[in-house]
Amino acid sequence: MNPATGVLARYYHRYAQFLSRHGFHALTYDYRGIGASRPPRLRGCGYRWRDWGMLDFDAALRFLCDARHGMPLHVVGHSIGGFLPGYAEAAPALSRILTVGAQYAYWRDYAAHRRLRLLLKWHVAMPMLTAALGYFQVGGWAGWRICRPASPMNGAFVVLDSRLATKQESGPRFSDASLR
């Protein structure tokens, strides 16, 4: 299970237990810089979103490939976790992908009545706070309950034009490709 940005693996444990009770082998994990994979100091760690796909998800997928004994591999990806398979070299081993709320945060995709607030939150306030602090961690104010290293903020969320985001971060658009 690929978590959303800043969401701890333990958030998904009940769902993983449900899947396990219904015949699936389930793996939950924290991305580098998050939860159990968080270093004592986030400032200057240099982790990026694509590392979560190219390194963390890819490692989890390779582990499962070795352990599956011919069983099909599926992934549930929540938010950014739905995009990470596109970064993993081992992704062709996947049989199915279920995404929940997967998006690349293109501001024009936001609901019209929330667009300005979300644009300011995700594309202005969050990158500025991250640049100033070296990481992003917010308690309950402004409805944010996430913690992340600074470098992931250099990814798609700070690019306001989705055409630039796909060229800079992810290569071809995910909607134009399929995993076999």
CB atoms within 10 A of CB 140: 7
Per-residue pLDDT reduced to its tens digit, 63-76: 999 887 788 999 99
Give 60: exposed, middle or buried? Use CB within 10 Å, 0-12, 13-18, 19+.
buried
pLDDT in tens, 25-64: 899 999 988 888 888 877 777 777 789 999 999 999 999 9
**In the predicted model, what is the mean pLDDT of residues 121-149?**
66
106: its two tokens: 């293109």
126, 153 Cβ separation under 8 angstroms: yes
Output the pLDDT for position 50: 85
Out of 69-78, 116-125, 130-139, 160-169, least confident range: 160-169
- Whether residue 81 contacts residue 60, with contact meaning beta carbons closer than 8 Å, is answered with no
- Cβ atoms < 10 Å from Cβ of 112: 7
